[in-house]
Each structure stands twice: as structure tokens, then as C-alpha cells.
Structure 1
């Protein structure tokens, strides 16, 4: 565990001097996360509506050794709330609802229903007790729940403050918003999601979640214990959280959703501005923050061991998502580190820019190299335009070229100089040089 804490701290502080997007460095980051059992999941970056980077690591099903990939579905937890807020906002635009509509129009038995408005629900200012904090929540949410059962619990739990007086996150708010959408549209939330968002955006791997089917490339959730991924067997029945956390999707398709939301394809610019307004502490289905002097909006999610984060940078027109089904290093810290690499923040390690070599130019470096110091044996392979290092009893990671016959990995503080005609390689590990001979 101490090793993992040190690794996480290093990754969070890691930066690069690249002035443009560098795929090899991002590959190195996620290869490091994977090889050190810091996470399993999928990561995606969209720039101006186009995917410019995607990486999946670890397994969707550990026992059957099914690897996560771009099409793997994950439970996205509370990122669902951004979808729900979008649907509610669209209903307001169509005149079917108002942000000032009181909750008692739909659910008069809810405490303070006459005082609570739709906007209070959207901004987590209703004062309603957060149902996921109820005693024994984890045990009763794993079985199917009807609307009547959920409403009964919401009514019984009562309130914690007067509407509009505070801002406090509560899943209860978005469960109720889901029911309101169903009543207005006269169909299930799953059908509303399909007609309002999934079909218009042509999403193929996004839906209202059901029981996980690993054979359908749907990820199972895991926790890390003693350097092994252990399956989480008790899982939420998604009839309970509904519009607060029931959607499953992929990292790439979440970026499609956020790109379309912020480009005005789902709601008007005026409505989007209201959703982005965080002056009361939270927006409507969106959180706002400043990252590296850049304004970001988005939402995170956590359910049954799944953790996720989607963010959008309006000025840069950049959408970034990481969904994990096994977490030691959080999606937040993974994205922070990835964006440091993407934006070239913390100009420290490299004295020369990276070079791009053709795949055939890498052939002369491939093979197995043996030396007298740890790791004693290093296998060098290639993947596309990158050399891949496989250290015996050590990590696997890519190298980038920076000079003739010279390669490096900034995260590992490794440099390698190859002498193809002499069948040898000099390894520089944190300033300590060792000679390796190719077999």
C-alpha cells in the first residue's frame, strides 16, 4: 500500500514540457496505472467534437480475462444527473414545466413540497435528506424498488434545511426529477432518455442500466486488495437511483454527450448558461471549477465500485472522460495528470522535444537485452510508433525518441541509448548507467 501511495503522489505531481498533445506520454501514464494496479477502465479525449485519444486498461471481467476496450459499458453513477438535468431543462424550454414549478404539483406528500421548486431540486437546494445516506442503504438498494417504495422512504426521511437556504448534495433531488419527467412525458425514464438523448446523438452503447452482462462487454466492478482485483458482488438495482445514477455508457460516448450539450445541440445557449451558473454552489446538473487557469464544467460519479468523471473545457472545446471499474488512483487524479501532459504543464524533465519515428525504423532496436544490474533482463518490442519496454519482474511502459538511437520515459526517469551494430544498450535509470547486451 505504501508503494501505491508513493506512486499516486508521483503521478499527481508529474508534468511534461510538451507544447502539443503527446500520445506516447499519455500511453505511458495509463500503462503505468495499469501495471501498478492503480486502476482499470477507459479514458477518452475529444477536441472540437472529434476523438483524438482513447485508452482502455485492465479487465472488464477479471476471471474470464476480458479486457476493457473502447466499447466497454460502465455504470457512470451520478454523471447520470447531467443527463437528467438536460432533459428537465428541455421540458422547461418546451413550456411543459417551469423552474419555478412547486414540487407539490406532482408530489404533495413530500415534506416542504409547496416550498420546493424544480430549480431547488436541480441545484441541490431542496433541503430533502439524501436517501443514499439512509441507514442500511447499501443493503436495501440491491433489490428492485418501485416508485412507491422510494417515495415512501423520501417522505419518511424528511428534510435537513429550509428550501433555498443552503446547498447540499442530495440524490433524492434527481430521483424526484426523474419521476416528474416520467409524469410529463407519460413514459418511463429509460424511454425518455432514449428519445431525448440517445437516438438524437446516435449513441450505441449508452442506456438505462440493467443487471450487468459481462458477455455483452459490460464491465464488472472490482476493489483492489493485496495487489489483486476482487469482485464486488452486491450491486445496486438501478430501479432505485433512476435519474440520479442509473445510466451506463462508455468514455467516448460520454464525451459525445458533453460535446453536444456545450455546442448547443441539446438545449439553448440561454438554458446552458443557467445550467452552468454555479453562483449558489452548484449548477444544474453541472459542477464548475478552475483547473490550471482553465474553466471547466462537468460531473463525477460513483456507484458499486465504479468511479467516473467527465469534464468539459468550453474555451478549449475539450471533453475528457475517465470511467473506472477498479480504482486506487481516482479518475480525478488520473485526469489531472493526463491534462498536465496534454497541456505541457510543469516544464521540468525534457531538454529536447520528442521525435516521431516510423514503425520500420524501430526494428533495429527490438530484442532481449541482459545486464548485471536490476532489472537484469529487458525485452524491447514495438507498438505503432513507440518502443515498448518489458522489464523482467518490473513494469511495462513505452519510450519516446528524442535523438538518434536515444529514447526516454519521463515518468520512470529512464533513458536508453541503443548501439544496434554492437548489439548493446546503455540504461540510464535516475542517473545510474548500466550496460545491457542483446542476445
Structure 2
């Protein structure tokens, strides 16, 4: 999955089952994790937790800017690009327009952009739920060649019109930024104003968000965080996507506190009707209409994740518990999902083991590496994991995913910090235990 304003998950998969827990936020273990992340140069960002509209926890960690002599510590008001979380803002405005009778879920894409493939059969519903079949333009090799340069709507539409569809509309689902860039254009056409102004009028001002807007060139003196990537143990400034490109798919800048308030307002009936919210929550083939449904044992949450350049973000709302949590990061070599999990578990009273980031000096034996090589599966998990050897290095690849270089900790134990993965091979049989997100799953060699 490309890392440009897509729904981000570096994890191989996430499963889980948990019992009922107490509900009292304990910040000490979250503070310990954030301190460790900063000290080991694993993440910089901001986290906020709210219950029933009352903020329980807010902490910025790391730096907004850290370039040579210029160092600006992050603050609670530091603004971050939030990538695909923007899709929830866009979906909210689309449902407002539906309530205003300006379109329906069945309105064909051809009403606005007849030049796009399958425009007569693609509907607003298909775009919202990633059922359109329109190819994700950020997956194209050409994307990296123009991502940092200003683009016009005409240029973007021309590219989208030239892309071959991935499947027939409505037959299945596949995540595509193309869908929400188009929905952003539709918001502009129906409101007769730029997306930035529509966002301000229909969401930001309506519920009193203080640090949320359509992004532009990043300016640290305006409390905007710069993106950084890990390079030889230091943070190196990373490229910025030009914000003329992502539009309704990934243009929003915000803070965790604002994101929490947005979710509370959305679920509190301040932005759309109960019927519209129910439609946004309804999941088909893994996707709602702008919202994603995620479970934590018997607890259900709704929200979205985001990634653009080196920024990562995630937000959750648990309706039954009235718990809201959001995290933003401008640098990370450790998953934001793990930090969010630590915060959730702290609230629900579940123990959380702090990760260990010390570099290992262990060199695996060649015979062990050869023993690990192969393809592993679990009948209850919809992916296989292939282990390969590259010299003294073990590499892992899940079905349809990128190759991960595993770090050897000790005999039969490997990790991949960026996804919070630990793999423990069985010395007596051809299998391994994959530990991720507090869940252990056995994979057996085929």
C-alpha cells in the first residue's frame, strides 16, 4: 500500500479477543511509552484521549522542527497533516449535501465527470465505499514524479480518465484515493466554493474546531509540523506532497484534540442526521461510507487512519463508552497503531508491555536461517507469510504486502518495530508464533 494519504497499516494483520475491562485512564504507562519513543528516535507527534467530551490526556512529544540549529518542541497546538482522515471530513460534507437534496447515493458520477471510465454506472455510494473500481492514482509509478508539484483539477482528471478500472463498479471493494479526490471536487461544485472554504463553513466553524483546515506548504512558525524520516539514527527532513493534489482524500491539517472533537460532534448529531451517520457506519466488504469499523474484543469503534509523506495518524470513537482517541505523528519508525493501542488499553485497564528498542548484536546461524525459509499459513487468517534468507538476514512478506527485513534478537526470535511485530520460531516443529497488538497467532509451514 503506498504511503501517500492512504489508509495506513504497516502491520501484517490484526486479530483480537478481550474480556470486559475497567474504564479509568492511567497515563503513566502511556507517558513511559512516549518517553521511550522520543529517546530512541522512534516517533514524534501528539496524542489526545477524551471521554464524553472531557479531555483525559493530551501530550505532544518530539519536535515540530529539528534541523541543525533550529529545534522547535511539539506542543498540543502543533498541527499535523492527517492524510486519509480527511476522507471522513469529505464524507460528512457529502452526506450534508445529500440531506440538502443536492444529490443522492444513487447519483451517477457522470453527472459531474462523464469523461471518467464507467462514469454512467459508478454512483456516489460506490465512491464513498470504495466500490467504484477506479484505479488508485497514488499506486502509479508516475505519481512520485509529480507529487511535490502543484497540479490543476484538469490535470488530475485527465490522469484519472486515462487509468484503466480495476473492476466493474459494485462488484467488490478496493481502497482508492481517486474516489475521494472526486468526492472533494463534487463538494466544490455543489457548494460553489473551494474545498477549503466548504470545510471551514460546513465543519470547522460549525463545531468550533481551532486548528483544522486545508493544508498548504508547511510553515513551522505557524505551528505546523515538518515531516521526518529515520536515517542512520537521526531524523532527516522528508519531501512534502503538494496539497493541490490530495483534496478530499488527504488535504486536512489538524490536531488530536480537534480530531476528537470532530468525532464527538459527528456522533453527537451536530454535523449529520442519525440516518446519515448510520449510512456512514454501514460496512460492506470491509469499508463504511467514509468511516471504518474496528473491534477491540467485544468493543466497537469507528474512525479512520491516515498517511501522507512521513505523517501518520489515527482516530477512534467508541460509541458505547463515549471514548475518543486520536494520534498524529510527523516522524515514525514504530506504528502509531501501537501507541493508540497502549492508550486504549490504559483506559480499559489492560496491561501493556513496553517495547524494547535496544539494538541487537545477535547474528543468526546459517542453519537456522535455512530452517526458517518457506511459506507459512494459518487456516483462520486470510494471508500467507513467506520467509526468505538474504545472506545473514531474514525477510518476511505477507500476501500482497511489502517485504519486511526482520531484526534478529536472539535464537529463533525476530522483530519488525515499524509494525510492532515479533516472530518466535518453534525449535521443534516447522512453525512460528507471530505476536502483534497483544495477539499471538501460530503459522505453520506448508
TM-score range, shorter chain: 0.7 to 0.9
Instruction: Provide the residue aligned with 1:284 in structure 2.
Output: 289
**In the aligned structure 2, how far is the partner of 1:39 from the partner of 1:203?**
26
**In the aligned structure 2, how far is the partner of 1:19 from the partner of 1:42?**
22
Asked if the contact 2:49/2:323 (under 8 Å) is kept, the reply is yes
- The question of 1:41 aligning with 2:45 is answered yes
Instruction: Provide the residue aligned with 1:270 in structure 2.
Output: 275
- The question of 1:322 aligning with 2:327 is answered yes
Moved over 3 A (4+): 346-349
Instruction: Provide the residue aligned with 2:131 in structure 1.
Output: 125
Instruction: Provide the residue aligned with 1:354 in structure 2.
Output: none
- SS at structure 1 position matched to 2:344: helix
Shift of 1:224: 1.2
Correspondent of 1:27 among 28, 31, 46: 31
Correspondent of 1:71 among 77, 80, 96: 77
**In the aligned structure 1, how far is the partner of 2:311 from the partner of 2:352?**
33
Over alpha carbons, which structure has the higher Rg? 1
Instruction: Provide the residue aligned with 1:160 in structure 2.
Output: 166
Question: Within 5 Å, which residues of 2 pair with 1:70-219?
Answer: 70-219=76-225
- The question of 1:61 aligning with 2:65 is answered yes
Over aligned residues, Cα RMSD in angstroms? Answer: 2.0
Instruction: Provide the residue aligned with 2:266 in structure 1.
Output: 261
Cα deviation code 1:151-184 (max 9, x no counterpart): 0000001311000001000000001111111111
Shift of 1:29: 2.0
- The question of 1:238 aligning with 2:247 is answered no
Alpha carbons of structure 1 residues 41 and 98: separation in structure 2 relative to 1, 3 Å: same
TM-score by length of 2: 0.73
- SS at structure 2 position matched to 1:62: strand
Asked if the contact 1:29/1:338 (under 8 Å) is kept, the reply is no
Cα deviation code 1:97-124 (max 9, x no counterpart): 1000001111111110000000000000
**In the aligned structure 1, how far is the partner of 2:75 from the partner of 2:148?**
27
Instruction: Provide the residue aligned with 2:312 in structure 1.
Output: 307
**In the aligned structure 2, how far is the partner of 1:348 from the partner of 1:143?**
43
Shift of 1:32: 1.8
Which consecutive residues of structure 1, in runs of 5 or more, have no partner in the other structure? 1-7, 350-439
TM-score by length of 1: 0.74
**In the aligned structure 2, how far is the partner of 1:267 from the partner of 1:56?**
31
**In the aligned structure 2, how far is the partner of 1:97 from the partner of 1:112?**
19
- SS at structure 1 position matched to 2:89: helix
Alpha carbons of structure 1 residues 348 and 71: separation in structure 2 relative to 1, 3 Å: closer
Shift of 1:132: 0.5
